């Protein structure tokens, strides 16, 4: 047998060439949604077909109209329907699942906590009672500034129980960011913690929270979860309330869920704006919860007896929709992990999958590329046979990473859902339904049933198959944001005005992403429209170039930026992280350049390829391309304080100057 005949080589070759993958018959047989007529039913019976999402919930009063579009784009869903999100996520599961796990929490240091639905119900009620005693009433906004600890979903559900919207601020944000968001929301109640662990070290979070509170314009009531105990660098003070003491003081309390209108705000979440201050995205109780439940059911194939893991942070919308509200609304077991994927070792994720028998894993391409770089020996050391479905979220995934995930994590037996959506959409919008559609690595897929999307040119006309354009959504959907908090004008300007075409009497939602569509209606998202490099008149999406580079064997991750060029106006600069064992040679550089030319064209040829051991990323994992542009242009570096590792920028700068 020659080397080329060996099974592993044959498999790699087949995977490399394969452009489409069919869901396994065993998955289709058990899938929550497996009848392709669902697309036609939504088309023919829109918007009333969205009742199937609302029917996944329990309502105190049924709606009398599915969609009120009389004041577009200020749409209303499930008009006059009434419900409570906390009751839907906890109370209604007690008869059948009281003793079943609702949340499995794994701490950084290996400690664990299991909350059954009965235990979660008790703690949510007790903390809801504590909030009321502290003066929190219906429609008061409570801010949460917490890492991935159980007190966060408990506090969220307690707020929902008493009709108080929550505003979760990602724990990695600065004190100034916290203050800015609390002031914008007129929030005077903060739930935070003394600290948390990262790579085994106890980090002081309370001092940062206090710094933020000192810049809040109103007097703040602060509740502090005791995460670190004796390891805490900063002690909780007498004028701060201790989370556990508040729960204990209300032991056994039962708080009746406040009946909320479907259009009442469930939460707000601040997201970055293209200009100006962060935007307070408003999500409502009925439409958002229905949509989170429906997409968890249809796309993630979540069932009550599953153990499901979304490896995101609840500080982002992914964690809201697919760690807390979607899975718990369906009565499943949701896994929460506090730590990083490589602590205490690079097999941590796969150890959790094996130990808890995880059925669905939903994670980011960034993590998958890291797993690829670390090597297959880590997943191969664990039994991953419990996995039934894999998902990706947060950014487009390149075909090579997709195929690695499919083979080495899913053993070619798990469908992969590559999901496109945003904070503003509330839930998934473009992806395959895993029990119905074939998968195309690198392409998210078609719009979900009931979602209408187009790729258009600047005048709003569809561009046709194969051409790049701007992604727009043509019809409202239940999970959509309703407005920006106290700023309807900005809501209109940021999302609707540019592509609203009066002569067509049509409002369209513009998410500021570029994309292209193929002949089968599968959409490939190319990245933000402002992430475009203009090389000699050619507008090239950074995502297209990055995907071509990462498709080269030996490349683990890449970031592409534009730099000033005397002749071309802008030139492409690629920053590349290689996989372990790959030599950073001139020949390998040439191979990367050739791959870009072949995939996109000679006009997209990178001016330079810079090898680097790390990329400048924020604590949330976003690549700070602005700093890479500064390096490419030889400019003075901008603010690096938000980076996970600020020193990396200077290391890259030195390497560029050395080359």
* Strand ranges for 501-593 from DSSP E: 513-517, 523-528, 532-535, 538-541, 555-565, 569-578
CA distance 398 to 444: 10
* pLDDT surpassing 90 at residue 174: no
Give me the count of residues in the chain: 659
Are the C-beta atoms of residues 331 and 381 closer than 8 Å to each other? no
The distance in angstroms from the start CA to the end CA of the chain is: 45
Strand partners, 190: 143, 222
Instruction: Give the mean pLDDT of the chain.
Output: 90
In this structure, what token pair is assigned to residue 155? Answer: 């506090």
Same domain, 420 and 563: no
CA distance 216 to 145: 14
Distances, alpha carbon 377 to alpha carbons 346, 380, 381, in Å: 10, 5, 6
Examine residue 580 and state whether it is found in any structural domain, yes or no. yes
In this structure, what token pair is assigned to residue 569? Answer: 């106006």
Where are the alpha helices (H) located in 23-140, listed in sequence order? 25-30, 37-44, 51-54, 85-89, 94-97, 117-133
Examine residue 474 and state whether it is found in any structural domain, yes or no. no
Give the closest residue to 350 by CA, choosing from 276, 419, 411.
411
CA distance 392 to 636: 36
What's the CA angle centered on 585, arms 579 and 588, to 5 degrees?
70
3-state secondary structure of 196: strand
Q: Which residue has the higher pLDDT, 141 or 623?
A: 141
- Burial letters 139-151, b for 16+ CB under 10 A, else e: ebbbbbbbbbbbb
Same domain, 593 and 446: no
Examine residue 509 and state whether it is found in any structural domain, yes or no. no
Same domain, 352 and 252: yes
Examine residue 276 and state whether it is found in any structural domain, yes or no. yes
Same domain, 542 and 406: no
DSSP string over 319-351: HIIIIIIHHHHTT-EEEEE-S-TTSS-TTHHHH
Same domain, 417 and 558: no
Chain centroid to CA 428? 10
The domain boundary residue, chosen from 433, 456, 479: 456
Same domain, 291 and 424: yes
Question: In this predicted structure, what is the pLDDT of residue 498?
Answer: 56
In this structure, what token pair is assigned to residue 486? Answer: 């106290």
CA distance 43 to 389: 27
Distances, alpha carbon 500 to alpha carbons 360, 496, 514, in Å: 39, 6, 17
Question: In this predicted structure, what is the pLDDT of residue 650?
Answer: 78
Question: In this predicted structure, what is the pLDDT of residue 633?
Answer: 83
Containing H/E element for 454? strand 453-456
What digits encode the pLDDT tens for the residues 47-85? 999 999 999 999 999 999 999 999 989 999 999 999 999
3-state secondary structure of 418: strand
What digits encode the pLDDT tens for the residues 333-389? 999 999 989 999 999 999 999 999 999 999 998 889 889 989 999 999 999 999 999
Burial class (CB in 10 A: 0-12, 13-18, 19+), 448: buried
Residue 548 structural domain: 531-658
Same domain, 413 and 538: no
Are the C-beta atoms of residues 306 and 212 closer than 8 Å to each other? no
CATH number at residue 284: 3.40.50.12780
What digits encode the pLDDT tens for the residues 393-429? 988 888 889 999 999 999 999 999 999 999 999 999 9
Burial class (CB in 10 A: 0-12, 13-18, 19+), 377: exposed
Question: In this predicted structure, what is the pLDDT of residue 275?
Answer: 46
Strand partners, 523: 445, 517
Residue 111, Cβ neighbours under 10 Å: how many?
A: 10
The domain boundary residue, chosen from 402, 424, 456: 456
Lowest average pLDDT, out of 110-119, 522-531, 579-588, goes to 522-531
| Mean pLDDT to the nearest integer, 589-603 | 85
CATH number at residue 646: 3.30.300.30
Burial class (CB in 10 A: 0-12, 13-18, 19+), 495: buried
Are the C-beta atoms of residues 173 and 186 closer than 8 Å to each other? no
Examine residue 221 and state whether it is found in any structural domain, yes or no. yes
Examine residue 25 and state whether it is found in any structural domain, yes or no. yes
Domain count, the chain: 2
Same domain, 422 and 546: no
CA distance 160 to 141: 11
Residue 211, Cβ neighbours under 10 Å: how many?
A: 14
3-state secondary structure of 555: strand
CA distance 651 to 610: 12
Examine residue 488 and state whether it is found in any structural domain, yes or no. no
Same domain, 357 and 236: yes
The domain boundary residue, chosen from 456, 482, 513: 456
What's the per-residue H, E or C state across 280-320?
A: EEEEEHHHHHHHHHHHHHHCCCCCCCCEEEECCCCCCHHHH
Examine residue 520 and state whether it is found in any structural domain, yes or no. no
3-state secondary structure of 609: strand
Same domain, 300 and 414: yes
Same domain, 353 and 231: yes
CA distance 24 to 627: 44
Question: In this predicted structure, what is the pLDDT of residue 565?
Answer: 78
Same domain, 411 and 543: no
**In sequence order, what are the residues at sequence separation of 6 or more whose Cβ sits closer than 8 angstroms to the Cβ of residue 358?**
307, 308, 309, 335, 352, 386, 387
Percent of the chain residues past pLDDT 90, beyond the cut: 68
């Amino acid at each position: 047998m020659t080397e080329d005949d060996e099974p592993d080589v044959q498999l790699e070759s087949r995977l490399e060439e394969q452009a489409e993958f069919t869901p396994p018959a065993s998955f289709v047989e058990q899938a929550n949604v497996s009848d392709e007529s669902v697309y036609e039913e939504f088309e023919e019976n829109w918007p009333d077909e969205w009742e199937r999402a609302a029917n996944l919930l329990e309502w105190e009063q049924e709606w009398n109209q599915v969609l009120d579009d009389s004041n577009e784009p200020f749409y209303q869903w499930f008009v006059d329907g009434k419900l409570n999100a906390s009751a839907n996520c906890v109370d209604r599961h007690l008869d059948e699942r009281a003793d079943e796990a609702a949340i499995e929490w794994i701490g950084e240091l290996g400690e664990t906590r299991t909350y059954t639905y009965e235990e979660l119900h008790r703690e949510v009620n007790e903390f809801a009672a504590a909030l009321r005693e502290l003066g929190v009433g219906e429609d008061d906004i409570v801010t949460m500034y917490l890492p991935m600890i159980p007190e966060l979903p408990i506090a969220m559900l307690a707020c929902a129980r008493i009709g108080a919207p929550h505003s979760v601020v990602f724990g990695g944000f600065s004190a100034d960011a916290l203050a800015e968001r609390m002031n914008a929301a007129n929030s005077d109640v903060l739930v935070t913690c003394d600290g948390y662990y990262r790579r085994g070290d106890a980090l002081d979070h309370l001092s940062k929270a206090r710094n933020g509170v000192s810049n809040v314009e109103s007097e703040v009531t602060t509740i502090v979860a005791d995460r670190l105990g004796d390891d805490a660098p900063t002690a909780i003070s007498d004028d701060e309330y201790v989370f556990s003491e508040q729960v204990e003081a209300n032991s056994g309390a039962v708080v009746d869920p406040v009946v909320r209108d479907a259009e009442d705000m469930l939460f707000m979440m601040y997201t970055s704006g293209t200009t100006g201050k962060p935007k307070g995205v408003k999500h409502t109780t009925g439409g958002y919860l229905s949509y989170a439940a429906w997409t968890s059911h249809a796309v993630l194939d979540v069932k009550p007896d599953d153990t499901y893991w979304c490896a995101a942070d609840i500080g982002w919308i992914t964690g809201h929709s697919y760690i807390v509200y979607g899975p718990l609304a369906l009565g499943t077991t949701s896994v929460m992990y506090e730590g990083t994927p490589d602590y205490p070792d690079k097999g941590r994720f796969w150890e959790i999958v094996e130990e808890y028998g995880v059925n669905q894993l939903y994670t980011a391409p960034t993590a998958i590329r890291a797993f690829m770089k670390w090597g297959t020996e880590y997943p191969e050391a664990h039994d991953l046979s419990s996995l039934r479905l894999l998902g990706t979220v947060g950014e487009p995934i390149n075909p090579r990473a997709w195929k690695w995930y499919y083979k080495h994590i899913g053993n070619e037996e798990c469908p992969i859902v590559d999901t496109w959506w945003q904070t503003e959409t509330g839930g998934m919008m473009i992806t395959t339904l895993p029990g119905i559609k074939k998968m195309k690595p690198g392409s998210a897929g078609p719009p979900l049933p009931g979602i209408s999307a187009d790729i258009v040119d600047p005048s709003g006309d569809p561009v046709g198959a194969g051409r790049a354009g701007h992604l727009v959504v043509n019809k409202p959907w239940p999970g959509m944001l309703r407005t920006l908090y106290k700023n309807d004008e900005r809501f209109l300007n940021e999302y609707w005005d540019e592509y609203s075409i009066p002569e067509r009497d049509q409002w369209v939602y513009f998410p500021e992403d570029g994309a292209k569509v193929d002949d089968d209606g599968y959409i490939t998202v190319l990245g933000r429209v402002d992430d475009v490099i203009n090389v000699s008149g050619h507008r090239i999406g950074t995502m297209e170039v990055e995907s071509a580079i990462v498709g080269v064997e030996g490349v683990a991750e890449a970031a592409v930026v534009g730099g000033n060029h005397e002749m071309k106006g802008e030139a492409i600069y690629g920053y590349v992280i290689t996989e372990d064992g790959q030599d950073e040679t001139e020949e390998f550089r040439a191979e990367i350049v050739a791959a870009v030319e072949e995939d996109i064209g000679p006009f997209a040829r990178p001016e330079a390829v810079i090898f680097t051991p790390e990329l400048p990323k924020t604590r949330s994992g976003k690549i700070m391309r602005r700093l890479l542009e500064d390096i490419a242009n030889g400019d003075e570096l901008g603010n690096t304080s938000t980076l996970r590792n600020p020193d990396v920028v200077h290391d890259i700068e030195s390497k560029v100057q050395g080359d």
